[in-house]
Amino acid sequence: MRPLRTVLFWALSGALVAGHAIVAWDSLVVTRLWEDEAFNLTVPLNLLAGLGYTSDGALSGSTLTPFDPRISTGVSVLLPAAAVLATGVDPVIGARLVPLAFWLLLLVGVAVLGHRIGGRWAALVAAGVPLAFHSGLTISPIQGPADLLGEIPAAALIVCALVVLPRRTWLAGLLLGFAVQAKLIALLALPAFVVALWILAPGHGAKRLGTAVRRSWIPLALVALPTFLVEIAAILSLGLSGYIGHLRSLAGFVRSGGQTYPPTTPVQKLGTLLDAWFVPWPLTLLISLTTAGLIVGGFLLTRRSQESIPQVVCYTVVASAIGIAAYVGWWSTASHLPLWVRHPAPGVYAFLPILAAGAVWGAQVLSRSHLPLSRVATAFGSALLAAGIGAAGALHAASTFTPDWETLATQRGAVDPIRAWVAENDVKWLAAQPWGGATSAVVLSGAHLGLFDAPAMDDEPRVTVDPCPGEVLVDGAMYRVCSAP
């Protein structure tokens, strides 16, 4: 049976690589540039234009805004994007290469942890989970792994921190600090790391706690280092009074989430999360319960046999359980946050693959049991986990062959007349009306991005998909430029 299992493993590995490659290519060059990506892109473009770490401020008054608090994707993503764009590569493709590189890092990281937990099959399952997640389900999506957003880079850095944690706690702290500077919500992973440090500390009882405390202060200090450096740069750029205003704006954005939506309930949030996979939600729920059962069963049987749970299993699985609980618990109880799976996505991408690998380890432990019922249940659970993840990944890859209402190529074609007009007339600013497709069109045109209802845009032309109430300056196939009202 061993040669057959080897052939099956490599066949499934090839299929998984092909699925990831299809989704990555579609995300990089086919998927349209959506508005949050476009807004983020203004930062590296302005940086290369000599304007500093500055957005166009479309959501902050439509004026150039250094260290804009409404840009929630941080320097860990946007500075490397600027470095790539400095080579002269196409701005959209070049900027998207950075989150795509983080996606590859995420897959390698979860595969490494999966292999440590349960061998090559656990590595394969862990690498398949990110492909099964439907992060583009809701509005404000993560369309794909190359989207110029901070959630996937944050997840990748969290996973890498877990990889190096046993041997290089200082590096783990630094990587978590960079994750925070990819997406501020990466801070929710901190409790998981504190528990992992305690599990990895030698000794027992009070001695173990004391060792954990002594080993923690350096990595925890390094968690804060990237943010400290960014804030120093912000103070130098904004001045003290400007920096105080920046902090107030940032605090308001964090408290409100930047959106005004009707209150949501935990049941709605959990229902949305169950729907956010490429298989029906009842199957998702069954797989989730099976995963939890296999992990708990593996832990209980190991303890019953008076054996030690492998340290790598203990620290990764326990930390991941705490991590996903922190993300889902925060999101589900934050009634002011809308039903966007993008909010808990860093935790889903970082921790659920590790829990799936833990389920494989649990199945391996239970399969060695002499209890017949245990073996039957384990075989069923393993088959369900593998089939569910495999089917979801295949459906994700297949979904890329369904034409979208707009692709990056058709988007560029629709914006070409506006881009030519902007260059010919040396237009500096255009106002998107409303926030949406017109936002991306403005950024692709080469002009600075404003929003139509900002006072600073009163005298600027509007880009819209609607008929112009006044003079039509550019009449494109999809987007048109209207004179200022």
Could you give the CA distance from residue 271 to residue 332 in angstroms, rounded to a whole number?
A: 10
Task: Compute the half-sphere exposure of residue 218: CA atoms within 13 Å on the CB side of its CA.
Answer: 10
The answer to pTM > 0.85 is: yes
* pLDDT score, position 373: 67
Peptide bond into 434 cis (omega under 30): yes
The Cα-based distances of 400 to 98, 134, 387, 414, 480 in angstroms read 21, 12, 20, 22, 29
Helix (H, G, I), strand (E, B) or coil at 136: coil
345: tokens are 């996505």
Pairing outcome for strands 462-464 and 429-432: parallel
177: tokens are 């600090």
User: Is the Cα dihedral 272, 274, 280, 285 positive or negative?
Assistant: negative
* 254 membership: H or E segment, kind and range: helix 205-256
* pLDDT score, position 348: 98
426: left (phi over 0), alpha (psi -120 to 50) or beta: left
**One digit per residue, pLDDT tens: the chain, 485 residues?**
678 889 999 999 999 999 999 999 999 999 999 999 999 999 999 999 999 999 999 999 999 999 999 999 999 999 999 999 999 999 999 999 999 999 999 999 999 999 999 999 999 999 999 999 999 988 899 999 999 999 999 999 999 999 999 999 999 999 999 999 999 999 999 999 999 999 998 877 777 777 777 888 899 999 999 999 999 999 999 999 999 998 998 888 877 766 777 889 999 999 999 999 999 999 999 999 999 999 999 999 888 887 889 999 999 999 999 999 999 999 999 988 899 999 999 999 999 999 999 999 999 999 887 766 677 778 888 899 999 999 999 999 999 999 888 999 999 999 999 999 999 999 999 999 999 999 999 999 999 999 999 999 999 999 999 999 889 999 988 999 999 98
* pLDDT score, position 203: 73
The Cα-based distances of 288 to 203, 285, 353, 380 in angstroms read 34, 5, 12, 14
Residue type, 355: L
What residues have CB less than 8 Å from 410, skipping those under 6 apart? 32
DSSP result, 345-413: HHHHHHHHHHHHHHHHHHHHHHHTSS-HHHHHHHHHHHHHHHHHHHHHHHHHHHHTTSPPS-BHHHHHH
* pLDDT score, position 262: 84
Q: Convert 71-123 into a string of H (helix), E (strand) and C (coil).
A: CCECHHHHHHHHHHHCCCCCHHHHHHHHHHHHHHHHHHHHHHHHHHHHHHHHH
* pLDDT score, position 202: 82
Q: Quote the DSSP letter at residue 456.
A: G
**Residue keyed to tokens 């492998």:** 310
The Cα-based distances of 204 to 194, 200, 291, 355 in angstroms read 16, 11, 30, 26
Task: Compute the half-sphere exposure of residue 298: CA atoms within 13 Å on the CB side of its CA.
Answer: 29
Helix runs in 257-371, H state only: 266-275, 281-304, 311-333, 345-367
Q: Quick one: angle between helices 35-48 and 91-132, nearest 10?
A: 140
Could you give the CA distance from residue 76 to residue 277 in angstroms, rounded to a whole number?
A: 28
User: Is the Cα dihedral 113, 116, 118, 120 positive or negative?
Assistant: positive
Pairing outcome for strands 65-66 and 472-475: unpaired
What residues have CB less than 8 Å from 244, skipping those under 6 apart? none
What residues have CB less than 8 Å from 123, skipping those under 6 apart? 110, 111, 112, 114, 115, 357
Length of the chain: 485
